[in-house]
Amino acid sequence: LDEETLAEDEPISGVMAEICAEISTNFVQIQKLFCSDSGGCTDLFISEYVEGNSNNKALELYNPTPFPVDLSEYTISTFNNGNTTPTNQDLLQGTLNPGEVYVISHGQASAFITNEADNTSNTTWFNGNDAIALYHNGVLIDIMGVIGYTGDASFDVNGVTEGMSEHTLVRNPLINGG
């Protein structure tokens, strides 16, 4: 894509890639967002959540900022089975460039998932009723689920009952922050 030919808030069409047909035959719409100084696009956020069968679990973090981000300032934590303190926690490492993603997967996920992962971690030992939190220098900046939730049912997502169980969730492209 030639970024200079793309208009803000307008759909992008006509994008072709051979690998896309291997993943899905569904239509994908991409939209370029305008990030103003007044808010949004200021910090990493969880852009994708994979809670598949068995160990096929992953998290994707996205850098919407115009700057490289030092990942050592970030921690991802999972809160399993109603815990109010992290069950698993991962201090991230490396640098995430603007517009790029950082993928954390379960170590025993399928090769399709682990081949995309930047890191494997116990923080991906979750299911649909566990909370996942992203912290920047100890400050909560994004969360999925509710810390301390003790119910057996998975969390509902956007009107889908138990939508955090056995689903892949991708943030709406109009969202530019946690």
SS3 111: helix
Q: What is the mean pLDDT of the chain?
A: 85
pTM of the model: 0.78
C-beta of residue 41 within 8 angstroms of C-beta of residue 65: yes
Amino acid at 109: A
- Helix, strand, coil percent content, the chain, rounded in steps of 5: 10, 30, 60
Provide the token pair at 131. Answer: 């909370």
Strand ranges (DSSP E) for the chain? 11-12, 30-31, 45-51, 57-62, 69-70, 74-79, 88-91, 95-96, 101-105, 119-120, 131-136, 139-144, 168-170
- Of residues 32, 30, 11, 8, the one with CA closest to residue 20: 30
Query: How confident is the model over 76-124, as pLDDT tens digits?
Result: 999 999 999 999 999 999 999 999 999 999 999 999 999 999 999 999 9
Q: pLDDT tens track of the chain, all 178 residues?
A: 556 666 655 655 655 555 555 555 555 555 555 555 555 678 999 999 999 889 999 999 999 988 999 999 999 999 999 999 999 999 999 999 999 999 999 999 999 999 999 999 999 999 999 999 999 999 999 999 999 999 888 999 888 899 899 989 998 877 778 8
Q: In the chain, pLDDT over 70 holds for what percent of residues?
A: 78
Q: Where are the beta strands (DSSP E) in 1-98?
A: 11-12, 30-31, 45-51, 57-62, 69-70, 74-79, 88-91, 95-96
